[in-house]
Structure 1
Amino acid sequence: MQAKDDDGVDARVRRRLRELRTQRGMTLDDVASRSSIDVSTLSRLESGKRRLALDHLPRLARALSVSTDELLREPEVDDPRVRGTAHTSHLITFWPLTGQGPAGGLHAYKIRISARRRTPPEQLPVHEGHDWMYVLSGRMRLLLGDRDFTIKPGEAVEFSTWTPHWFGTVDGPVEALALFGLHGERVHLHTDHK
């Protein structure tokens, strides 16, 4: 039983060592020089190819500017739920589905387009970016340049926002999932075009 507990401590310290080192932007060389532990020994400790020695703990903790207890504790698991409030702009309500720093600079939203959003502006907006939408319910009207599309539930669209565009409803509210790049998000959530 003791060996299994030791394996658990070794694994936990390995995870914490890697986690704390990367959080602080430190290399193995940085930690090695601060802890007076050879870099190859440190590399083997992190990879699990060498067992942790008791005298490593205080030196590693000092090198990482944490207490030994902090080095030994279980890593915290971040809450994976995305917390954000709905935002309404130009008869479209946006619920964020991604948190800060999404992959590839994309932000995902569930959107609800009000049934009152039926009349496009005289001049269709153009901006930097790329939009992608998947209609969950209702019928969405999409104007792209001179073309007029009706997008039904289960259909997806993607287009360059350099093309003059607008989206609204045909005959009732629409719910959809949308991916916007940073520029598209800024325009859809914060501009005055209708």
Structure 2
Amino acid sequence: MDHPADGDVLGAVGPRLRALRRERGITLAGLAAATGVSESTLSRLESGRRRPSLELLLPLARIYDVPLDDLVGAPPTGDPRFHPRPIRRFGMTFVPLSRRPGGVHAFKMIIPARPEPLEPTVRTHEGFEWLHVFDGRLRLVLGDRDLVLTPGEEAEFDTSLPHWLGSADGGVVELLILFGLQGVRAHVRTGARRPPQDGNRR
């Protein structure tokens, strides 16, 4: 007999799968071609109209390069510590700093040193991205702009614009990235003014 909480866990699988696919910039058609699972089955799985099974989840875990436990949202075993698992894509390392599906995802991104800088290969996908450079010199190609960001500098942009991130000088770059789907943006408040004291009022 199923535990009442099982329904909640299984019900969260669909939104988690949809968030992962959009985060990776993969279409349903592309995912179907990569996994061998039909596009209609994947669509029903993401919408919650198809019950997740091991047969369906295993190829998705391989494509997304995440543990199966992450797809089903397995409950913690009593250890409150978070153990992020690095993801390697496009020759770069992404360390996830958040776990919940949907909303804003946080990553530490590490661009390795290279003897010769790479030629930019721009891409586009749905969403908004905010980044903060910790170390190194980041080259950001955004549309027709070619920028270099140094430690402490930040940028925010719509990822539907052609963009590319890389090292400006071939050295290691470390940065924090906040990524959200379309309409989810980071809001940074600076220079807040304090109300005047009574003695300063005119």
TM-score by length of 1: 0.49
User: Would you tell me which structure has more helix in proportion to its own residues?
Assistant: 1
Q: Choose 1 or 2 for highest CA Rg.
A: 1
